[in-house]
Amino acid sequence: MDKNNKNNDDEKLHISRSVFENARDIRQKKTEEEALRQQELQKKLAERERKKREERDKRLEEERKELIRLKQGIIQESEIIHEEQPEEIKLSFFQKIGNFFYHSKWWLGMGLAVAFIVVFLTISLVNKPRPDMIILFIAENQTVCEESALDKYIASFSDDNNNNGETLVSLYYIPYTDNPQKNYANGVDTKLTAELQSADSVIVFGNNKIEDVLNPDDVFVDLSKIYPDNPNVDSYKFMVENTDIAEKIGVDKKDVKDGLFIALRQPRKLMYSSKDKMQETYDRDFKVFDKIVNDLSE
């Protein structure tokens, strides 16, 4: 009886103690009870995790052994190891489009860049005016070739061969010198080989260094047979240094130097063209060459 009364007394507020003391005891008791519950819960969770680990380790060990048996050919298929099929995710039409662009953005970017370059080059090629004549300038003289009106001077004797409504002459500048390193830096050898194996041009400007790189007798026409009485003709060369070409193309006379001359290539079979094709170019451009010679001989 006394013991029951004591327990009942423990569960009641002691009137003789302050309200604050009673509240503190109640909180402490609840805290202790909560701590015990948490401790018990942690034990259960730990036990559950331990069992999961044991089951997982056991399954992995069984799968490892089964895999070894598969590799050794002891068994043909396994009831333990199953190939997991990924769950198919159904996407809407717009999600599929977005997914495609997301995963292909690098390839699409590269493709668009390549397409842009191709379109740009195609448009440039189509819109680029085709010259009626091509003249080779094999000499280091940028003033005469690129900073003068030489192309317009030659165009004044040319016809509109491509029927595009204008006469255009292109000068291909190949600045050959006696300095191999300079020639290499300017790509002279490559340009020279390519152009001399093409039938697109037969009129050539050169200077006294040209015989260092090619054999004139094999390349050029002997002009002395065409213009036997012309004082400016020296074998395959029509010397322009002593003519008024400087005035006609708008440069100082001192810029026409180093034995600058104009010559004609012989029609022959080339690496990139036939002799007949080069003969066509020769027959067309000789008319212009003849007019230049006559104009500078007056």
Q: At residue 126, does pLDDT exceed 60? A: no
Domain 130-296 belongs to what topology?
D-Maltodextrin-Binding Protein; domain 2 (3.40.190)
Cβ atoms of 288 and 203 closer than 8 Å: yes
179 or 120, greater pLDDT: 179
The full set of domain ranges for the chain reads 2-71, 90-128, 130-296
**Predicted confidence (pLDDT) per residue in 163-192, tens digit:** 777 888 999 999 999 898 999 999 988 898
pLDDT at 11 over 80: no
CA gap 61, 72 in Å, rounded: 17
For 285, the 3-state DSSP assignment is helix
Say how far apart CA 207 and CA 140 lie, in whole Å: 8
- Kindly report the pTM of this predicted structure: 0.58
- The sign of the torsion formed by the CA atoms of 197, 241, 186, 134 equals negative
Question: pLDDT band for position 52 (50/70/90)?
Answer: confident
